[in-house]
């Protein structure tokens, strides 16, 4: 505990209470297999699933409820806005199915289509493979006939927010007019909370430190 108290100066004031009580190594070689088994057991709902290549897939959601008493969105033939959603899990566990209910809620409330990416995970598939997987899903979404490519938002939860930021970097989507946001703060798979993601040892520092127009949060829908 004394060591933790001494290290608090390295954290932003808003994060110091969390840094004091949060596990420094929530994901370890011992806990990772357990976390993966738990998330693998998540069945999710029943959206359309498009496999882009082995280990990379997109779970696709369309609006199917009413907004203010009228049909949500536009006709199926008219291009819609779209959200590319990237799940969290410290880059080392998690799967797209864990966010099925959230993605359907996004689609219903926004009248947009939502593509939720299943990307390959570290350490078996280190950076930049997860970023490339998400970019492949982004390109797939851009070319969907029902999607307005000028109205695509890239978003993610936790580690997915880091991948969203990396995907929105000029080198990744140079011709895109997309926006991105991070739903929750980025947590490090190595230390739990990174005082400085740019020097983190988790192997994803390029992704978490990439630029782009990113807002820190989005209201729950």
100 belongs to a structural domain: yes
| Interior angle at CA 191, CA 185 and CA 196, nearest 5 | 60
DSSP-based three-state secondary structure for 209: helix
Structural domain harbouring 7: 2-215
Instruction: Name the pLDDT band for 65 (thresholds 50, 70, 90).
Output: low
Q: In this predicted structure, what is the pLDDT of residue 205?
A: 34
**What is the number of other CB atoms lying within 10 angstroms of the CB of residue 73?**
20
Name the pTM for this structure.
0.71
Question: What's the whole-number mean pLDDT along residues 150-167?
Answer: 90
For the chain, how many structural domains are there in total?
1
Strand order across the beta sheet in which 214-215 lies: 48-53, 56-61, 113-118, 80-86, 147-156, 179-182, 214-215
In this predicted structure, which of 5-9, 109-113, 114-118, 159-163 has the lowest mean pLDDT? 5-9
In this predicted structure, which of 38-47, 82-91, 136-145, 160-169 has the lowest mean pLDDT? 160-169
CB 58 within 8 A of CB 140: yes
In this structure, what CATH number is given to the domain that contains residue 89? Answer: 3.40.50
Structure-block tokens of residue 36? 């993966």
Structure-block tokens of residue 27? 């994901």
158 belongs to a structural domain: yes
26 belongs to a structural domain: yes
CA dist., res. 118 & res. 103, Å (int): 13
221 belongs to a structural domain: no
Q: In this predicted structure, what is the pLDDT of residue 1?
A: 62
What dihedral do alpha carbons 213, 215, 216, 219 form, nearest 10°? -150
DSSP-based three-state secondary structure for 41: coil
220 belongs to a structural domain: no
Between residues 99 and 22, the one the model is more confident about: 99
DSSP-based three-state secondary structure for 191: coil
**Per-residue pLDDT tens digits for 95-130:** 999 999 999 999 999 999 999 999 999 999 999 999
**Per-residue pLDDT tens digits for 164-208:** 988 876 554 444 454 544 444 434 443 344 444 444 444 433 333
CB 27 within 8 A of CB 92: yes
Q: In this predicted structure, what is the pLDDT of residue 169?
A: 64
80 belongs to a structural domain: yes
138 belongs to a structural domain: yes
């Amino acid at each position: 505990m004394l060591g933790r108290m001494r290290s608090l100066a390295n954290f932003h004031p808003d994060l110091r209470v969390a840094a004091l009580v949060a596990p420094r190594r929530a994901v370890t070689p011992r806990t990772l297999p357990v976390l993966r088994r738990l998330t693998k057991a998540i069945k999710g709902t029943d959206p359309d699933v498009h496999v882009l290549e082995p280990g990379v897939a997109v779970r696709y959601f369309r609006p199917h409820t009413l907004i203010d008493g009228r049909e949500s969105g536009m006709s199926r033939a008219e291009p819609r806005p779209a959200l590319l959603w990237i799940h969290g899990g410290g880059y080392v566990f998690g799967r797209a199915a864990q966010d099925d209910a959230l993605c359907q809620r996004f689609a219903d409330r926004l009248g947009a289509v939502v593509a939720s990416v299943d990307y390959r995970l570290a350490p078996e598939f280190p950076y930049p493979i997860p970023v490339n997987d998400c970019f492949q899903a982004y390109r797939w979404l851009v070319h969907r006939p029902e999607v307005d490519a000028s109205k695509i938002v890239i978003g993610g939860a936790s580690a997915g927010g880091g991948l969203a930021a990396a995907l929105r970097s000029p080198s990744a989507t140079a011709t895109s007019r997309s926006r991105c946001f991070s739903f929750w703060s980025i947590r490090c798979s190595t230390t739990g909370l990174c005082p400085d993601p740019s020097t983190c040892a988790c192997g994803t520092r390029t992704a978490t430190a990439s630029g782009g127009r990113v807002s820190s949060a989005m209201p729950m829908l």
